[in-house]
Structure formats: structure tokens, C-alpha cells
Amino acid sequence: MGDAATAKTSVAKSKKPTRDGFGEGLRELGNLRPEVVAVSGDLGDSTRAKWFGDEHPERFFEVGIAEQNLVSTAAGLALTGKIPFANSFSAFITGRAWEQIRISVCYMDANVKIVGSHGGLSVGPDGATAEALEDIAAMRILPRMTVIVPCDAEQARAATLALGDHVGPAYLRCGRAPVPVLTNPETEFEIGKARLAREGEDLTLVACGVTVYFALLAAEVLSREGIEARVLDMHTIKPLDTKALAAAAEETGALLSVEEHTIHGGLGGAIAEWLAQNANVPFKIMGVPDKFGQSGEFEELVEVYGLGPDSIAKEARKICARKG
């Protein structure tokens, strides 16, 4: 990660996977609210939903490797007053069961929380079949769906607790790879409200998930060159915080989005849709190119697909040059 690596200690200290934050949050929520149940497809250990199941076995439903039944069953549970967290790998639950999410959950407006772990490149060596690079797009286009991509384990915990109060369909994307912890239990989390991760006036880096950390590292590199980048942690992709985007467009005059997802239809796509109709500033989408993933260590994949801090800094300089 070159220059940026030297800046690492200034923005984060420890590392933890966001799936762990979900597991802790669900266990906590389960103790607070008896309506919370989990439905798993043989991956409860991996998604960490099992941490809830160990304390509340009667509220933990294992349905086997059967994602379609998993999602529609969760919808049925919701119709009896439960708050089901349906969990599996992101690639499988948003892919195999997409139509079940569309009809049984969204069209029916069932209070189901879809939780995908191993989102993005974090599945690493397991390779392309389990790497969800299209899940944000697939969930974002569904009416009534809320889409959340937490930047760290603490935020994943906060998001899980917030979903306990949120009524309606939602998708929470978690990852397997340990990622730096940027927030703490006191950090404010509100669904639909972006977190200002860094102040800056020259351009805005809009990121979600682990790329918030990469964006912060890139901002430090840029700062040494006299470019002050604002960093927005857009943890909620839908509904998008258009207020924060409008302010960023007006006050910084340029936007660069970064995500661990294909460049089509994810965070960048959401911002592009809004920008095209509301503001006219230079903008670029960074993400995984229009390709399938591959095996490799998480850090290697981040470099291969050009999502690291140095790549972000490079694009940021170009965007700044395009400002009028």
C-alpha cells in the first residue's frame, strides 16, 4: 500500500471482521427483544448468527443449505410478529434467493433483515463463486429495501441494533476479513445518515465498508500534498443521504466514490443517479471492474482491483484537476 501504509496508525488501531460485529449485535439484540429470531442455511458459524443461536436455541432456525426456503420462511416468521434475521453468504442469499427477497420480503413488506456475510472481496481464497460483488446492486433496486454496508465491526454492531427498531425489509452486508476498527460505541449511527469521517474542502471521497478506511489513508496522503479531502462514510446506500451529498458537491466541488463492489449499480451507481439529476460536479466511480472475482488474499485482491489508498489518491488528484 506504499506511502499510505505509513499513515495507518493515525486512523485505526485494532482489526476485526464486520461479521463479528453483527454476531455481537444480534446476541445483544436477542437479549433485549424476544421477537428476534435467526434463520440460517448451514453457515451460522461463518455469519456469526450462531452466537445468538447459542444463547437462544429455540429462536434459532437451521433450514439447511436451502436459501430459497430460508428467505421465504423468514417472511412467514415476520408475519407472526417475529423480527427474523435471515443470514447466509452475501453471494448466495442475495443471488439464489433474490426472487424470494423480491416477493416474499419486499413486495409483502415483511419485516425481514437479510444479512449477507463474506461480502465483497473478503472471502479471499475461496474465490469468485462466493465473492459477492453484485449484491449491493441486486438489493438496491428492490422497492422498500434498505441497504447498509458497515465500515467496521463496531458499526456493524450498531447497525444490527438499529435494525431491531427499523420496520421493513433491510439488507446488511458484512465481511469475513478483519478490517480496522474506525468507530467506537459512542459513535453516532443512524440509518440513512452518512457519517462525516474526515473534514475537507477540496473534494469528497464517498466510501462504504472497508473502503472508508482506504479513503481515510488516501486523504492523509493527499493532505501532505495540500489537498484536503472530505471523507463520507456512506454506510447506508439506500436510502442515500442526499443532504450530505448535496453539501459535499457544493462545498467541495468534486466527488469520488469507492466501494468493494462492481462499478455497476452499487454505491457509485446510486450517487451517479442522484448527481445526474441534482448537481453538476466532476465524479468518478471506483470499484471492482466489470469482472468476476478470483482467489487471493484480501489485501492482494484489493491491490489487483485498484481499490487501495494509493489508487484512490491517484484518482483524487485527477478529479481535482477536472474542477472548473
Least Å distance, CB 35 to another protein, is: 10
3-state secondary structure at position 36: strand
CA dist list (Å): 265 to 67, 97, 237, 280: 23, 19, 11, 20
Nearer to another protein, 101 or 210 (CB): 101
| Torsion-angle region of 167 (φ positive above 0: left; ψ -120 to 50: alpha; else: beta) | beta
Q: Is 81 in the site for another protein (CB under 8 A)?
A: yes
* Least distance in angstroms from the C-beta of 311 to another protein: 42
Rank residues 79 and 276 by Cβ distance to another protein and give the closer one. Answer: 79
Segment 146-185, which members bind another protein (CB under 8 A)? none
How many H helices and E strands in the chain? 14, 14
Q: Should residue 279 be labelled a site residue for another protein when binding is judged by CB under 8 A?
A: no
Which window, 78-86, 138-146, 262-270, 314-322, contacts another protein (CB under 8 A)?
Answer: 78-86
Is residue 84 part of the contact set for another protein (CB under 8 A)?
Answer: yes
Pick out residues in 56-75 that bind another protein (CB under 8 A): 58-59, 61, 63-64, 66, 68-69, 71-75
Per the DSSP assignment, residues forming a β-bridge with 115 are 87, 172
3-state helix, strand, coil in the chain (%, to 5): 45, 20, 30
- Least spacing, CB of residue 201 vs another protein, in Å: 49
Q: Which helix (H) or strand (E) holds 40?
A: strand 36-40
Return the range that interacts with another protein (CB under 8 A); candidates 22-30, 81-89, 179-187, 206-214: 81-89
Task: Choose, by CB under 8 A, the member of 37, 133, 218, 258 that binds another protein.
Answer: 37
Q: Is 55 a catalytic residue?
A: no
DSSP summary character for residue 305: T
The correct pick among 48, 82, 173, 176 for binding another protein (CB under 8 A) is 82
Contact between 77 and another protein by CB under 8 A: the answer reads yes
Residue 255 and residue 281 in contact, taking contact as beta carbons nearer than 8 Å: yes
Q: Which is nearer to another protein, 102 or 198 (CB)?
A: 102
Query: How far are the Cα atoms of 5, 42, 199 from residue 220, in angstroms, in the given order?
Result: 10, 42, 11
Count of residues interacting with another protein (CB under 8 A) = 30
Smaller CB distance to another protein: residue 78 or 158?
78
Residue nearer to another protein on the CB measure, 167 or 321:
167
Selected binder of another protein within 3, 8, 76, 223 (CB under 8 A): 76
Of the residues 28, 58, 67, 259, only one is catalytic, namely: 67
299: region left, alpha or beta (phi > 0 left; psi from -120 to 50 alpha): alpha
Considering the complex, state which of residue 3 and residue 62 has its C-beta at the smaller distance from another protein: 62
Instruction: Give the Cα-Cα-Cα angle 200, 174, 241 (nearest 5 degrees).
Output: 40
Q: Is 132 in the site for another protein (CB under 8 A)?
A: no
Smallest CA-to-CA distance from 7 within 225, 170, 255, 156 is with: 225
> What residues does 171 pair with on adjacent strands?
114, 147
C-beta neighbour count of 65 within 10 angstroms: 12
Instruction: Tell me how far apart the alpha carbons of residues 120 and 48 are, in angstroms, rounded to a whole number.
Output: 17
- Interface mask (CB under 8 A) for another protein, residues 98-127, using x and -? -xx--xx--xxx------------------
| Residue choice 9, 14, 32, 80 for contact with another protein (CB under 8 A) | 80
- Helix residue ranges per DSSP H, 179-266: 211-224, 242-252
Tell me which residues are annotated as active site: 67
Task: Give contact residues for another protein (rule: CB under 8 A).
Answer: 37, 39, 58-59, 61, 63-64, 66, 68-69, 71-82, 84, 99-100, 103-104, 107-109
